[in-house]
Amino acid sequence: MDPLDAGTRYSPRAPADSDLGEHFLPASDSKKLEKHRKPTKKEGIGIGVGLLVMAVVLALITGLLVWHFHLRRAEKIKKKYNGSLKITNEPYLDDYEDPNSSAFQELADKVVLQLKSFYSKNPRVSKYYMGSSVLAFSDDLDENQENVVAYYRSEFEVSQGQESVVDGDLTIKEEPEQSKSRAFASPEENILKFENMVSGVEDSRLTKTFENPQKHSHHAQSGKNITLESPGFPDSPYPPNTFIEWELRADHGFRVMLSFLKFSLEEDCRKDFIKVYNSLAPIEEKALAEKCGSYYPNEPLTFVSSRNVMLLRLLTDQDKNFPGFRAVFTQIPKDLAACGGELTGLNGTFQTPNYPGYYPASIKCVWNIEVPVEKYVKVEFKTFDLSEPGVRRRECLKDYVELNDQKLCGSKLKTKVISSNSNTMRVSFRSDKSYVYQGFLAEFYAFEPSNPCPGTFKCFNNKCISPLLECDGWDDCEDNSDEKHCTCSDSQITCKNSLCKPKMWQCDGVDDCGDNTDEENCGQCKEEEFTCLNNHCVSNRKMCNGKDDCGDGSDELDCGGVSIVPCTSLTHRCKNDKCINKQNPECDGTEDCEDGSDEDNCACGKKPYKSSRIVGGTDTREGEWPWQVSLHVEPKGHVCGASVISNRWLVTAAHCVQDRDIRYSSPDVWDVYLGLHIQQVIGTGTVKRKLKQIIPHPKYNKETFDNDIALMELESAVPLNNNIWPICLPTASYKFPIGSSVWITGWGATREAGFLAHVLQKAEVRIINSTVCGKLMSDPITPQMLCAGVLSGGVDACQGDSGGPLSYLANNTRYYLAGVVSWGDGCAHRNKAGVYTRVTRFRRWIKELTGV
Ligand SMILES: *[C@@H]1O[C@H](CO)[C@@H](O)[C@H](O)[C@H]1NC(C)=O
Ligand SMILES: *[C@@H]1O[C@H](CO)[C@@H](O)[C@H](O)[C@H]1NC(C)=O
Ligand SMILES: *[C@@H]1O[C@H](CO)[C@@H](O)[C@H](O)[C@H]1NC(C)=O
Ligand SMILES: *[C@@H]1O[C@H](CO)[C@@H](O)[C@H](O)[C@H]1NC(C)=O
Ligand SMILES: *[C@@H]1O[C@H](CO)[C@@H](O)[C@H](O)[C@H]1NC(C)=O
Ligand SMILES: *[C@@H]1O[C@H](CO)[C@@H](O)[C@H](O)[C@H]1NC(C)=O
Ligand SMILES: [Ca+2]
Ligand SMILES: [Ca+2]
Ligand SMILES: [Ca+2]
C-alpha cells in the first residue's frame, strides 16, 4: 500500500453543508478571516473620530494625486511579451544551462542588445520599449548543426489605446524559411544570426495576478526518475495563488519524458491548472497540454518533448485548493520516440509513439504495410484520439492520420476500418507544434479479396462481425450494412424503410428506425397539441396559461420563470413545503425554491476522475462508480449489489435480503465492500464494513417483486473519498425521460450461473416505455417499476447485479439513482429488458428512515 496515496485523503469537491464526512476546505479561508478582523466596539468608538479626520485629509491628497497622475499623463499599461529565437552562428555550450554562469550572461547580454536594436527599428513600438531579458537557452540539433535557442521576455509600457498596435507588431509567428535572418542579419562579424523568431503577449490570467513564478530547475538522468510534486503533496493541499515553474532538461540527443502519477486539481481550468510546454519558455505555440481536474490513478498522463527541454507550470487561484500532483521525469534517447517503418506479414499492430502516453509534437511517421501478393490490406483503429479543441473535424489542419488519400482526425471516427485494393497500404501520421493527445492503436490484417471474412459476416466496409449480430437491430458494422435486407423477427419492429429494430424501443421518443416508424401510433397528440404527462392532449395555446388544462398540471410546468404553484405529484416540493413548477430543479446551480433547499446536499453523484483515454468496452476503472457496493455472504462471496447514499446508508433490493438457504435478512451474515473494483482484490480505496440493520420495504411482494427495495445501515460511518461517494437520490417528482440513457454496473454474480466478472462491469441501457415493456414481459410492470434495455451494440455479458444501481447522468454533471436492479434481464442481453425498482416512488420512505 502506498502511504502517500492522496486519493484517499482528500475529496476533490467543494465543501458542502451535508454530513458527507471528510471535506476539503479551501486553505484560503483562514487568511480571509484574518484580513478582515474588525476592531472591538470600544476601540472603534475611541478611534472613530480620529479616523474620520484622517479620512478627509487622505481623500483630498488622493484626489490630488489621481488628478496629477491620471489627467496630467496618459495612463500606461505594462505589457509583457515572451518569445523564442534560434541563433544559428553560435555553438551550444553546456554552461548555458546555468543562468549564473558567465557564458550564459555573455550570450544573454548580446541577445538583449540585439533585441533592443531590433525594436528600435520599429518606431511604432520603440517608444514603449522598457527592456528584455533572456530566460533560458537550449540546444537545437538541426541537420547535424548545433544551434542555440534563446527564450526571452520583453517589456513595454504602452499608452492606453495603443495596445493593439503593439500587439500586432510584436506577435510574430515563426518566420518562413526564405525570409530567414533578413531582419536581423548584419554584415558585422560579431552579430548573432537569428532565425525562427516567435513571440506574443503573455497570458493575462498570469500577468495580472503574478509577477514572477517560483522556479525549480532539474536535469534528468538516464534510467532514473526525478520526482516533482506540487507544494505540500500529498499531506496538504497546494496553497492558493501558487505560480511555480519547473524547468526540465535532458542531455544532448535525449528527450524529456514527464509522467503524472497522481493528479487532482480543481475541476475548472480557468482557476487552477498545469501547463506543459515543449520549450523552456511559456510560448503558446509550444504548449503541449493544459490540464485540470482529477485523472485516474494508474493511468499516467505521459508527455515527451521534441528536444531536450520541457517546462511545467502550476497556477492556482485564491480558493478551492486540491491535493495537487506527483510526477516523475526522466530522459529517453531521441529515437525511442521515433515511429513508422515497414510492416509485413498477415497481421500486426502499430501505434503512435509513446502510446498510450501522449505523442510528441512536430512528428511525422510513415508506415508502409505490405502483405503477401494477391491479398489486400485492412486497417482497424482500436483507439483514436487526435482531437484539438476548436478545430473542425473535416479540415484536419493540425494533427491527422492519412491513408488511402483520406485524412482522419478528432476523437470519434465514423468508420474504424479502412481497406485497400492492393497488397500495400501507406499510413502516415503527423502532429503539429502544439497540443498533443494519446494518438491511436491500430491493427492491420491481410485478407483474401474474394473472401474477406471467412466464417463471419462481412460488412460493406470490410469489417468482419459475428453472424449473430446480423439483423439484430444494432449497427455493428458502423455502416449499418449488417442491418440491411433483413426479415424482422417477432421481437422486432419492421420499420417502413425495412430495417428491424427491437420492440422495446417503441414509443420511447427516440426515432430508432430513422423514418419514425417506431414512434408512430404511440397515442401522440396532433401537431398543434401538447402531450400532457398523463397522455391527454391539450391545445398548444393552453400551455402556460396559468390554468391546469391537462388535469395533472403538466401544461403548467417549465413555463420559463419559476413560480410557486399548488402541489401535485409533478411539482417539486421545497423544504418549506411550497411547490414550484420547474422540473428537476435540484442541484442545477440555480436556487429555485424560496428557501434554496433545491440546492442543498448537492455534493452527491459526481465521478471523481477524468479519463485521459478514450475507452470502450465494458470494464470500468477504479473509482468510476464510487457508489457501487458489493454485498458478500460467506461462503458464497459476492451475491448482490447496493448503492451508497450517505456515509452510513445503502440502498439495495428487498429480494436480496429475504431468507432462503441463508438468513439473508440478518445483518450479521453480510460483509459490505465499498470502493471495490476487482472482486478478490482489496485495494487501498476499499473499505469493509458490517451492518447494523437491514430495512426491507414493508410492502415488498415476493410474487410480483413490487416495492423491491431495502435500506442497509452500516455499523459505522465510512470515510468518503475518491473511491466511495454517494449517488444523488431523486426527489419524488424527478423525471427520468423515457428513451434517455442510463448505466447499469455490477459484477453480475446472481444472474448467470457460474459467471462472475472480476472487474466491475458497466453497460449503457435506455429507459423503455412502461406500456411497451408491460407487453413484452410475461409479468406485470407496476408503477413502482422501471424498464431499461441495452443501448449499445456488442454488449452481451452479464453486467447488472441485483440490488445494484441504475445511474442516470443529469445534464452531464451528476448522477441520480434512477433504479435498483430488480428482475427481468438485468444481465443486459440484447433485445431483453431489465426491470428496476423506481426510486422516485420511495423518496419519502428513504428520507423518513435514514434522514438522507
Ligand atoms: C544563481 O545565483 C543566485 C544568487 O546569486 C542563487 O540564488 C541561485 O540559486 C543561483 N541559481 C543557480 C541555478 O545556481
Ligand atoms: C507567453 O506566455 C503565455 C503564458 O504565460 C502564453 O499564454 C502566451 O501565448 C505566450 N506567448 C506566445 C507568443 O506564445
Ligand atoms: C519511472 O517512472 C515511470 C512512470 O511511473 C515508470 O514506468 C518507470 O519504471 C520508472 N523508472 C524507474 C527507473 O524507476
Ligand atoms: C495473426 O497472424 C498469426 C500468424 O501470423 C495468426 O496466428 C494469428 O491468429 C493472427 N491474428 C489475428 C487476430 O488474425
Ligand atoms: C408509451 O407507449 C404507449 C403506447 O404503447 C403510448 O400510448 C404512450 O404515449 C407512450 N408513453 C410515452 C411517455 O411516450
Ligand atoms: C446544465 O448545466 C449547465 C452548466 O454546466 C447550466 O448552464 C445549465 O443551466 C444546466 N441545465 C439544466 C437544465 O440544468
Ligand atoms: Ca447488428
Ligand atoms: Ca424508439
Ligand atoms: Ca435549482
How does DSSP assign 292-361, residue by residue? -SBB-TTS-EEEE-SSSEEEEEEE--SS----EEEEEEEEEEGGGG---EEEESSEEEEE-TTTTSPPPS
Regarding the beta carbon of 298 and ligand 3, being less than 6 Å apart is answered: no
pLDDT reported for residue 320: 83
pLDDT reported for residue 558: 78
Q: How far apart are CA 723 and CA 683, in angstroms?
A: 10
Of 230, 212, 232, which Cα lies nearest the Cα of 273? Answer: 230
* CATH topology match: 76-202 vs 208-335: no
Of 259, 293, 262, which Cα lies nearest the Cα of 276? Answer: 259
* CB neighbour burial string for 275-307, b if at least 16 within 10 angstroms, e if fewer: bbbbbbbbbbbbbbbebbbbbbbebbbbbbbbb
Q: How far apart are CA 292 and CA 325, in angstroms?
A: 10
* CB neighbour burial string for 351-368, b if at least 16 within 10 angstroms, e if fewer: bbbbbbbbbbbebebebe
Between 55 and 285, the more confident residue is 285
Q: Mean pLDDT highest for which of 50-64, 331-345, 546-560, 739-753? A: 331-345
pLDDT tens digits for 142-192? 656 778 889 888 888 887 777 777 777 767 665 433 334 444 444 455 678
Does the pLDDT of residue 567 top 90, yes or no?
A: no
pLDDT tens digits for 693-711? 999 999 999 999 999 999 9
pLDDT reported for residue 183: 45
Regarding the beta carbon of 713 and ligand 2, being less than 6 Å apart is answered: no
Q: How far apart are CA 852 and CA 844, in angstroms?
A: 10
Regarding the beta carbon of 346 and ligand 4, being less than 6 Å apart is answered: yes
Between 747 and 718, the more confident residue is 718
Q: Ligand 1 pocket test: which of 94, 97, 100, 280 has the largest number of ligand atoms within 8 Å of its C-beta?
A: 100
Could you tell me the distance, in angstroms and rounded to a whole number, from the CA of residue 223 to the centre of ligand 3?
8
Of 216, 227, 223, 224, which Cα lies nearest the Cα of 260? Answer: 227
Place of cell 452479464: 798
Q: How far apart are CA 765 and CA 784, in angstroms?
A: 19
Does the pLDDT of residue 445 top 60, yes or no?
A: yes
Neighbours of 453 (CB within 10 A): 16
pLDDT tens digits for 778-791? 889 999 999 998 76
Q: How far is CA 779 from CA 696, 752, 770, in A?
A: 22, 20, 12
Reduced to 3 states (helix: H, G, I; strand: E, B; else coil), residue 378 is strand
pTM of the full structure: 0.78
Name the residue at shortest CA distance from atom 2 of ligand 1.
100
Regarding the beta carbon of 298 and ligand 6, being less than 6 Å apart is answered: no
pLDDT reported for residue 5: 36
Phi, psi of 457 (to 5 degrees): -85, 135
Q: How far apart are CA 746 and CA 480, in angstroms?
A: 30
What is the helix, strand, coil percentage profile of the chain, to 5? 15, 35, 50
C-alpha grid cell for residue 402? 492519412
Q: How many CA atoms lie within 13 A of 140 on its CB side?
A: 20
pLDDT band at 830 (very low <50, low <70, confident <90, very high): low
pLDDT reported for residue 367: 96
Query: How big is the chain, counted in residues?
Result: 852
Mean pLDDT estimate for the chain: 82
Does the pLDDT of residue 46 top 60, yes or no?
A: no
Mean pLDDT (whole number) for 312-340: 90
pLDDT reported for residue 669: 97
Q: How far apart are CA 634 and CA 695, in angstroms?
A: 21
Q: What single DSSP character describes residue 184?
A: T
CA-atom Rg of the chain in angstroms:
32
Single-letter amino acid, residue 735: K
> Do the Cβ atoms of 417 and 380 come closer than 8 Å?
yes
Could you tell me the distance, in angstroms and rounded to a whole number, from the CA of residue 273 to the centre of ligand 3?
24
pLDDT reported for residue 552: 81
> Which residues are CB-contacts of 5 (< 8 A; sequence separation ≥ 6)?
234, 262, 297, 684
User: Residue 225 CA: which ligand 3 atom is closest?
Assistant: 1
C-alpha grid cell for residue 485? 435486407
Q: How far apart are CA 531 and CA 554, in angstroms?
A: 9
Note if 335 is an active site residue. no
Does the pLDDT of residue 16 top 80, yes or no?
A: no
- From 708, 807, 822, 825, the catalytic residue: 708
Could you tell me the distance, in angstroms and rounded to a whole number, from the CA of residue 225 to the centre of ligand 3?
6
Residues with C-beta atoms within 5 A of ion ligand 7: 469, 472, 474, 476, 482
CATH class of 338-447: mainly beta
Chain centroid, CA 515 distance in Å: 34
pLDDT band at 566 (very low <50, low <70, confident <90, very high): confident
Could you tell me the distance, in angstroms and rounded to a whole number, from the CA of residue 480 to the centre of ligand 7?
8
Of 533, 514, 379, 512, which Cα lies nearest the Cα of 442? Answer: 379
Task: Give the DSSP H/E element, type plus range, for residue 245.
Answer: strand 243-249
C-alpha grid cell for residue 477? 458494422
Mean pLDDT (whole number) for 88-103: 83
Does the pLDDT of residue 501 top 50, yes or no?
A: yes
Does the pLDDT of residue 473 top 90, yes or no?
A: no
Q: How many CA atoms lie within 13 A of 630 on its CB side?
A: 29
Q: How far apart are CA 613 and CA 568, in angstroms?
A: 45
Q: How far apart are CA 371 and CA 429, in angstroms?
A: 20
Regarding the beta carbon of 225 and ligand 3, being less than 6 Å apart is answered: yes
Does the pLDDT of residue 48 top 80, yes or no?
A: no
Mean pLDDT (whole number) for 445-469: 88
- From 740, 770, 802, 807, the catalytic residue: 802
Between 569 and 262, the more confident residue is 262
Place of cell 476548436: 390
Q: What single DSSP character describes residue 581?
A: S
Ligand nearest to the CA of 533: 5
Mean pLDDT (whole number) for 536-559: 84
Could you tell me the distance, in angstroms and rounded to a whole number, from the CA of residue 152 to the centre of ligand 1?
18
Q: What single DSSP character describes residue 172?
A: B
Q: Are strands 579-580 and 439-447 parallel, antiparallel or unpaired?
A: unpaired
Q: Ligand 2 pocket test: which of 202, 245, 270 has the largest number of ligand atoms within 8 Å of its C-beta?
A: 202
> Do the Cβ atoms of 90 and 106 come closer than 8 Å?
no
Could you tell me the distance, in angstroms and rounded to a whole number, from the CA of residue 446 to the centre of ligand 4?
10
Q: How far apart are CA 622 and CA 437, in angstroms?
A: 22
Binding pocket residue ranges, ligand 5, CB within 6 Å: 507, 509, 522-523, 535, 738, 769, 771-772
Q: How far apart are CA 468 and CA 434, in angstroms?
A: 45
Ligand nearest to the CA of 740: 8
Q: Are strands 347-351 and 439-447 parallel, antiparallel or unpaired?
A: antiparallel
pLDDT reported for residue 569: 81
Does the pLDDT of residue 110 top 60, yes or no?
A: yes
Share of the chain above pLDDT 90, in %: 43
The domain defined by 609-850 folds into Thrombin, subunit H (2.40.10)
> Do the Cβ atoms of 436 and 430 come closer than 8 Å?
no
Between 253 and 379, the more confident residue is 379
> Do the Cβ atoms of 558 and 583 come closer than 8 Å?
yes
Does the pLDDT of residue 126 top 90, yes or no?
A: no
pLDDT reported for residue 796: 41
pLDDT band at 758 (very low <50, low <70, confident <90, very high): confident
Neighbours of 697 (CB within 10 A): 20
Note if 802 is an active site residue. yes
Q: How far apart are CA 277 and CA 283, in angstroms?
A: 7
Q: Ligand 5 pocket test: which of 512, 766, 769 has the largest number of ligand atoms within 8 Å of its C-beta?
A: 769
Binding residues for Ca(2+): 266, 272, 309, 321, 399, 432, 434
* Range of lowest pLDDT (350-359, 499-508, 791-800): 791-800
Phi, psi of 740 (to 5 degrees): -85, 160
Mean pLDDT (whole number) for 767-780: 90
Cis peptide before 356 (omega within 30 of 0): yes
Task: Give the DSSP H/E element, type plus range, for residue 370.
Answer: strand 364-370
Could you tell me the distance, in angstroms and rounded to a whole number, from the CA of residue 613 to the centre of ligand 7?
26
Does the pLDDT of residue 414 top 90, yes or no?
A: no
> Do the Cβ atoms of 146 and 91 come closer than 8 Å?
yes
Single-letter amino acid, residue 585: P
C-alpha grid cell for residue 423? 497488397
Sign of CA dihedral 75, 80, 86, 89: positive
Neighbours of 71 (CB within 10 A): 9
DSSP codes joined into one string, 105-162: HHHHHHHHHHHHHHHHT-HHHHTTEEEEEEEEEEEEEETTEEEEEEEEEEEEEEETT-
Ligand nearest to the CA of 382: 4
Neighbours of 508 (CB within 10 A): 23
pLDDT reported for residue 205: 57
Of 297, 278, 273, 301, which Cα lies nearest the Cα of 288? Answer: 278
pLDDT band at 651 (very low <50, low <70, confident <90, very high): very high
Residues with C-beta atoms within 5 A of ion ligand 9: 585, 588, 590, 592, 598
Q: How many CA atoms lie within 13 A of 554 on its CB side?
A: 16
Q: How far is CA 720 from CA 20, 411, 586, 608, 725, in A?
A: 7, 34, 22, 11, 6
Q: How far apart are CA 305 and CA 214, in angstroms?
A: 22
Name the residue at shortest CA distance from atom 9 of ligand 6.
588
User: Residue 217 CA: which ligand 1 atom is closest?
Assistant: 13
* CATH annotation of 208-335: 2.60.120.290
Please name every residue paired with 304 in a beta bridge, in sequence order, or none if there are none: 257
pLDDT reported for residue 390: 60
Domain boundaries, the chain: 76-202, 208-335, 338-447, 609-850
- From 632, 638, 655, 697, the catalytic residue: 655
> Do the Cβ atoms of 202 and 209 come closer than 8 Å?
no
Please name every residue paired with 761 in a beta bridge, in sequence order, or none if there are none: 619, 746
Could you tell me the distance, in angstroms and rounded to a whole number, from the CA of residue 669 to the centre of ligand 2?
62
DSSP codes joined into one string, 769-824: PHHHHHHHSSS---TTEEEEEE-STT--S----TT-EEEEEETTTEEEEEEEEEEE
Regarding the beta carbon of 226 and ligand 3, being less than 6 Å apart is answered: no
Neighbours of 145 (CB within 10 A): 10
Regarding the beta carbon of 349 and ligand 4, being less than 6 Å apart is answered: no
pLDDT band at 285 (very low <50, low <70, confident <90, very high): confident
Of the candidate CATH numbers 3.90.1200.10, 3.30.70.960, 3.40.140.10, 3.40.50.2000, the domain formed by 76-202 belongs to 3.30.70.960
Mean pLDDT (whole number) for 578-599: 90
Binding residues: 266, 272, 309, 321, 399, 432, 434
Q: Ligand 2 pocket test: which of 171, 201, 313 has the largest number of ligand atoms within 8 Å of its C-beta?
A: 201
